[in-house]
Amino acid sequence: MDVILHMRKIIFILFLIAEGLFAQSFGQNKVQYKEFDWSLISSPNFDVYFYGEDTQLAEFTAEVSEEAHEQISKHLRWTLKKRVSIIVYYSHNDFQQTNVIWQYMREGIGGVTELFKNRVVLPFEGDYEQFRHVIHHELVHAILNDMIYDGNIQSVITGRVKLRIPLWANEGLAEYLSMNWDTKADMTLRDLSINERMPTVIELESYMAYKGGQSIWRFIAEKYGREKIGEIITAMKMTQNAEKGIERALGMDYEDLTKQWHKYLKKEYWPDVVGRDEIEDIAKRLTDHKKEKNYYNISPAVSPDGSKIAVLSDRSGYFDIYVLDAIDGKEIRRLVKGNRSVDFEELKLLQPGISWSPDSKRIVIAAKAGKSDALYLINVKTRKKEKFTFNLDGIFTAAWSPDGNQLAFIGTKDGASDVYVYNIDEEKLTALTSDIYSDSEPSWNYDGSVLVFVSDRNGDIAGLQPPEVIIEHDFSQKDIYTIDLSSGNISRITDTDHNEDYPIWSHTEKNTLFYVSDDGGVWNIYRYKPDSDPVALTNILTGAFQLSLTENDDYLVFAGYADMGWDVYSMSHPLEKDAMEVPPTRYIMNQDNVSEDLIDLRRHKRSQWSTGRSTGKDYQGWVFAREYDHFNQPMETPEDASADFVKDTTDLTDEGYVSKAYKTRFTLDLVNGYASFNNVFGAQGMTMFAFSDILGDHQIYFGTEMVIDLKRSDYFFSYAYLTRPTDYYFSISHIANEYFLGYDMNGYQHRGLLRNFSLMSYLSRPFSRFMRVEGGLSYHYFSFSEWQEVNYYEFEEVSNEDFSVVLPVTSWVYDNTVYGYTGPIDGFRQNTTLVVSPGWGSKKMDFKTLKMDFRKYYKIGRYSSLAGRLTLGTSRGANKQKFYLGGLQNWIYGTGETDGVKDNSHFRNNLLDGENDLEDVFFSEFVVPVRGRRYMEQVGSNVALANFEFRFPFLLALGVPEKFMISNLGSHLFFDIGTAWDKGSEFKESIAGFGWGMKINMGYFLLRIDSAWDINESGYSKPQYYFSLGTDW
């Protein structure tokens, strides 16, 4: 029996171990800038988690949630059978630190509902109406999860529930039940209808999935009655198919539903066209979102001298600030690059505001800058910036005073949004308002003595009401107010039933204001003078927003929505414009027909149960089917499982809610079979159990592949502690692989058992979203034993070799890349890792290895990118590591060549030979890809590898029109070149390959097919074909 020959196969497991130990990591960070002291209050159906001593926002959340549950249950014919946890953050910056959701909560995400525990996570950003809407929206998802998936992801993983509610149906229903309809949704659908751009039901995606889906549910409710909503969802659940559910409930498939919906839209919006103007009929368009193939050109600010316009745009694929020529809109320069540096992580997309200095030389903007928001003063020529930070949770919509020495802005602190003024010379911050109401959009008058702003304070002009009044306050409607800086007196300018926004002062006519209003159902521009009624200056089809005036009032610049996108427009001589009549839209004329419970969404009212004690409201009345009656039984609270429902679950006293300190308790998230693929051993599998607490700050993972006994089984345990700025990890693992080695001369089997037991402690300290330092210490015990069969399937150990080692490791990681469908498409990432073996352990191994990986990506057009990578490595010491150069990651199939002759091996050399002993292989590293070459084409203690790829959609290469691009089918051209060597005097010639490939996104993995030509002395080889798994590097 050639035991050594089979040993060479067994030793491949060491590659798996080394790959897991030294794999270089990338990815951006979720930074814990501060620690939160959590508490909770409980209502009949919800547990609201909050931090700080003030319970006002948590109580508001609880009461709005109960009202939302009542309304949603009525429509879905379902009441919650499991309690829902709601985690509330006081700002978007705090929200981005949550550990409930793994993903980074980028700008624009107003809330999220996850399916592991059916938790709702929300940020409060200073606007109660927006917050109410988001609460209601997310609770639609939570109740649907409870109804369809039993409130956790396990039913999906096991395949017990196969229903996937389409995005348009899921998000559209959440929008419809949380707000019914409003003038901005009406604007979006009117624009689609009049431009004949109406998508089919299955084409609804991205933002249109929200608004288009909302419109479809509105159409269904108006035509068939709102009872159909619950019937459709129930039918989807019964058939386990969304389209079949609609067909069962409505008698029509997606195609018929599309036809009926389109007919409804035409009847609803075509009458609105008569007598109204396109925006381009009354103003000059300065940007073109269709030509630039982008969506946003917003927040325009014209310089006082009228020569330039600063604008926030996504024309580059990021949100950047550009300076445009005010006459023709031509780009002068890109002033700020957003989303890829610590200073400008986010540019306040939802509440943008750009303002110029009086001398037209600088602008002021608010941006997320690491752990807090900041104001930046930026020179438009030199790009030199000055930064101001304050002890506030959020900063929005800055405005520069006429004297150039003061900055007005909206700041949020502890759940309140107020108007602030910062004196630059005195370095003094003053809060002009300090109350419970939501304020926004401050703007200076001509001499800097008065500020105008928007607020939902209604009649409480001075803001004297206590915080608890917000529960009963009508915060759905906003008016315009002014505040005198010398006296602090606030005056109300508008008092209407509709909304006003974006007020600005005239510079040449004292006390004249311009603003926008949705009076009549369309957002038009209005002019206000104290001695007369406001007059409309426009009567457009869609909407105008975010006004800005030149210093001489000759031009009014604004952002307008039309043809499915936002552009900047300029209107001349606004003071001279005649008044226009704005007829009401069909939506406004038919508002009286809206069902009462949906009207109440816009006119917040307090429920009976929340008046001091629970009244035991009977939610059973909202359940229409007998089989659901058992779901109306009382639910236990997590803090007191034996508590009486009415007495203790709502946790109310005469003074209000009872706040309880948060306690860490673990519950199961999921049980799942985990599969992976390795370069050497192919498919790997394990059953994994995941546990965490409600806040996700403590996470436990346990996995096992139990066979026969512990010695021959794989298992691991890991714990993550994530509450502090530094994340801590600890793990224990055991990997065992038993292999058949062959038969001896007596016909008895010989088997080998390879084991690795590891203890690892690890920490990660992010300094920003893009940069972190990592470090750890690991202990490894490695053994290989041979077992001989002595009787039928009875074995005894005949040899054993083992050793142990302790390894410190540290890494510096930077990553600001942006991902496409198959991998990074823009930005830069690098990983520098130092591994040191100081001679600890039984083997006394001595080596120091430094590895560096640099990757740069350039986005080219909308779909393509150019990628470059440089990998460097060197090892020193008595037992220096070896680098194995060649092959590609997760190579699953494909023949290789040896000196021009095809064979079936993926390896150039055997892993265990005269050049490599057991320890060499265990602590060596495979450096890939070099396509056209196999693993171990070159071996050395130094390595250098360069890779280049041009990535593009596969169909684009065939000349298929852009609108038919398929996102899950990509292609690439590549060139790989590298070398490995030991001493400088032994420097080897490089190896290289080139070719092209395809990749197909299979949902759970990326299948890659490469055709490569090896460059050799005689030119290049015949094409070699490779099949592999994995994303783009």
726 phi, psi to nearest 5 deg = -100, 130
Average pLDDT over residues 158-169: 89
Mean per-residue pLDDT, 3-19:
37
**Which of 120-124, 433-437, 618-622, 663-667 shows the lowest mean pLDDT across its residues?**
618-622
Q: Which of 392-406, 695-709, 744-758 has the highest mean pLDDT?
A: 392-406
Residue 594's pLDDT is: 60
The one-character DSSP state at 579 is P
In this prediction, residue 639 has a pLDDT band, given cuts at 50, 70 and 90, of: very low
Greater pLDDT, 834 or 823: 834
Give the per-residue pLDDT at 177: 97
Q: 983 to each of 32, 111, 199, 907, 940, how far by Cα in Å?
A: 45, 57, 64, 24, 9
Whether 678 contacts 714, CB under 8 Å: no
pLDDT tens digits along 741-753: 778 787 788 888 8
Least confident residue range of 24-33, 588-597, 671-680, 736-745: 671-680
What is the reported pLDDT for 1009? 92
Which residue has tokens 């001075």? 462
* pLDDT computed for residue 16 by the predictor: 40
Q: How many residues does the chain have?
A: 1033
Q: Which pLDDT band holds residue 968 (cuts at 50, 70, 90)?
A: low
Do 154 and 670 form a contact (C-beta atoms < 8 A)? Answer: yes
pLDDT of 912 > 70? The answer is: no
Whether 299 has a pLDDT exceeding 90, the answer reads yes
SS3 at position 565: coil
Write the CATH number of the domain with boundaries 816-1033.
Answer: 2.40.160.50
Crossing angle (nearest 10°) for helices 227-239 and 167-179 = 150
Please determine, for residue 615, whether its predicted confidence score (pLDDT) is greater than 80: no
Q: Which of 278-282, 409-413, 526-530, 1002-1006 has the lowest mean pLDDT?
A: 1002-1006
Looking at every residue in the chain, the average pLDDT score rounds to 86
What's the topology of domain 348-576? Neuraminidase (2.120.10)
pLDDT tier, 2 (very low <50, low <70, confident <90, very high otherwise): very low
- Give 3-state DSSP helix, strand, coil % of the chain, rounded to 5: 20, 40, 40
Report yes or no: 891 and 934 within 8 Å, Cβ to Cβ: no
* Cβ atoms of 979 and 938 closer than 8 Å: yes
For residue 799, what pLDDT is reported? Answer: 82
- Residue pair 286/569 in contact (Cβ under 8 Å)? The answer is yes
Count the Cβ atoms, other than its own, within 10 Å of residue 469: 12
Where are the alpha helices (H) located in 683-784, listed in sequence order? none
Amino acid at 346: E
Reported as type and span, the H/E element at residue 88 is strand 84-89
Q: Could you tell me if 886 and 991 are in contact, meaning their C-beta atoms sit under 8 angstroms apart?
A: yes
225 CB-near residues (< 8 Å, 6+ apart): none
CB 324 within 8 A of CB 301: no
Q: Give the distance between the most distant pair of CA atoms in the chain.
A: 112
Rg (CA), the chain: 32
* Integer Cα distance of 21 and 762 in angstroms: 12
Cβ neighbours of 129 (radius 10 Å): 19
Estimate to the nearest angstrom the gap between the alpha carbon of 411 and the chain centroid.
Answer: 24
Distance CA 518, CA 476 (A): 13
The whole-number pLDDT of residue 325 equals 97
CA dist 541 → 191, 260, 269, 407 (Å): 8, 23, 10, 35
CA angle in degrees (0–180, nearest 5) for 959-960-966 = 130
How far is it, in rounded angstroms, from Cα 922 to Cα 824?
31
Q: What is the pTM of this model?
A: 0.88
- How many CA atoms does the CB half-sphere of 998 hold within 13 Å? 12
Q: What is the pLDDT of residue 5?
A: 32
Mean pLDDT within 305-323: 95
The pLDDT tens digits for 54-93 are 899 999 999 999 999 999 999 999 999 999 999 999 999 9
Which residues are 444's β-sheet partners?
451
The mean pLDDT value for 98-112 works out to 91
Among 557-561, 653-657, 677-681, 1016-1020, the range scoring the smallest mean pLDDT is: 677-681
* Degrees, nearest 5: CA angle 217-221-223: 115
pLDDT single digits (tens) 252-276: 999 999 999 999 999 999 999 999 9
More confident residue, 788 or 344: 344
Mean pLDDT confidence for 523-537: 95
Whether the per-residue pLDDT at 231 is higher than 90: the answer is yes
Q: What is the pLDDT of residue 677?
A: 52
455/647: higher pLDDT: 455
- Is the model's pLDDT at 509 over the cut of 80? yes
Query: Is residue 11 predicted with pLDDT exceeding 50?
Result: no
Report whether pLDDT(765) > 50: yes
Three-class DSSP category at 148: helix
Q: What is the pLDDT of residue 917?
A: 66
Q: What is the pLDDT, as a whole number, of residue 126?
A: 87
Per-residue model confidence (pLDDT) at position 786: 84
648-658 pLDDT per residue, tens? 345 656 567 89
Q: What is the pLDDT at residue 66?
A: 97
Q: Is the pLDDT of residue 678 over 80?
A: no
Question: Is residue 1030 very low, low, confident or very high in pLDDT (cuts 50, 70, 90)?
Answer: confident
Which has the minimum average pLDDT: 139-148, 455-464, 914-923? 914-923
Query: What amino acid is encoded at 894 in this protein?
Result: G
Question: 636: burial class by Cβ within 10 Å (0-12, 13-18, 19+)?
Answer: middle
DSSP code per residue over 766-801: ESSSSEEEEEEEEEEEEEEEEEEEEETTEEEEEEEE
- Calculate what percentage of the chain has a pLDDT beyond 90: 63
**With 70 as the cut, is the pLDDT of residue 627 above it?**
no
pLDDT (0 to 100) of residue 401: 97
Query: How far is the C-alpha of 439 from the C-alpha of 806, rounded, in Å?
Result: 58
Side chain identity, residue 398: A
Does position 984 have pLDDT exceeding 80, yes or no?
no
| % of the chain with per-residue pLDDT over 70 | 86
Return the SS3 of 68: helix
Asked, as a colleague might, if the bond just before 961 is cis with ω within 30 of 0, I would say no
**Residue 683 scores a pLDDT above 90:** no
Confidence of residue 631 (pLDDT cuts 50, 70, 90): very low
Q: Give the least confident one: 132-141, 229-238, 1006-1015.
A: 1006-1015
Asked if pLDDT for residue 423 goes beyond 50, the answer is yes
Q: Pull the structure tokens for residue 736.
A: 């065992």
Tell me what pLDDT residue 1031 has.
Answer: 84
pLDDT digits (tens, 9 = 90+) for 358-386: 999 999 999 999 889 999 999 999 999 99
**Highest mean pLDDT: which of 494-508, 741-755, 961-975?**
494-508
